[in-house]
Amino acid sequence: MTGATEAGWYETGRGVVVPWKCDHFGHMNVRFYAEAFDDASFHIWSVIGVPIIEMEEEQGLIGVVASLKIDFLQEIRVGQLYVIESAIVRVGGKSFTYRERMRDTHSGVVHATADLVEVFFDKIERKAAPIPDGVRTLLERKLVAEL
């Protein structure tokens, strides 16, 4: 699930809106947008080319989402299929930021976007840690200058 969809954007998830995910207005409830974006965030590591389990085992580092901001652009209803795409938009000293967008699979309409800040976290020290040089290089290769 890591093929590029357009320059710098990578597919990180897919889903369908089922009735039990909808609110009393017949739209997907906000909690399930968060779930879809969160599930996609785990796939960002494949996009970067970093086996997250190996980074944890070998360096004691994990990725932690420190911030998530969702913008709801257009309602999505029962039966609609969607794809989540992600792009790296900023690389810092201890974190990186990426944007995710939820598009209708058929029409291409963007229903919502999410901006996430992922912090490198040292499991032993229990604090943010610098991005390892090799990972920084991989992140910078995927960086999208403008959205």
- pLDDT reading at 2 higher than 60: no
pLDDT recorded at residue 67: 96
Going along the chain from its start, the domains and CATH numbers come out as: 4-142 (3.10.129.10)
pLDDT recorded at residue 142: 93
10: tokens are 């990578």
pLDDT tier for residue 17 given thresholds of 50, 70 and 90? very high
pLDDT tier for residue 7 given thresholds of 50, 70 and 90? confident
φ, ψ for residue 98 (rounded to 5)? -140, 150
Beta bridge partners of 71: 113
Query: Distance (Å, rounded) from C-alpha 26 to C-alpha 24?
Result: 5
pLDDT tier for residue 146 given thresholds of 50, 70 and 90? low
pLDDT recorded at residue 33: 97
Q: Between 133-142 and 30-48, two packed helices, what is the crossing angle to 10 degrees? A: 110
Tell me the per-residue pLDDT of 25-61, one tens digit each, with 9 for 90 and over: 999 999 999 999 999 999 999 998 998 888 899 999 9
Query: What is the model's pTM?
Result: 0.89
Residues in CB range of 18: below 8 A, 6 or more apart? 78
- pLDDT reading at 77 higher than 80: yes
Q: What is the mean pLDDT of residues 102-110?
A: 97
Query: Distance (Å, rounded) from C-alpha 61 to C-alpha 126?
Result: 10
- pLDDT reading at 3 higher than 70: no
- pLDDT reading at 135 higher than 60: yes
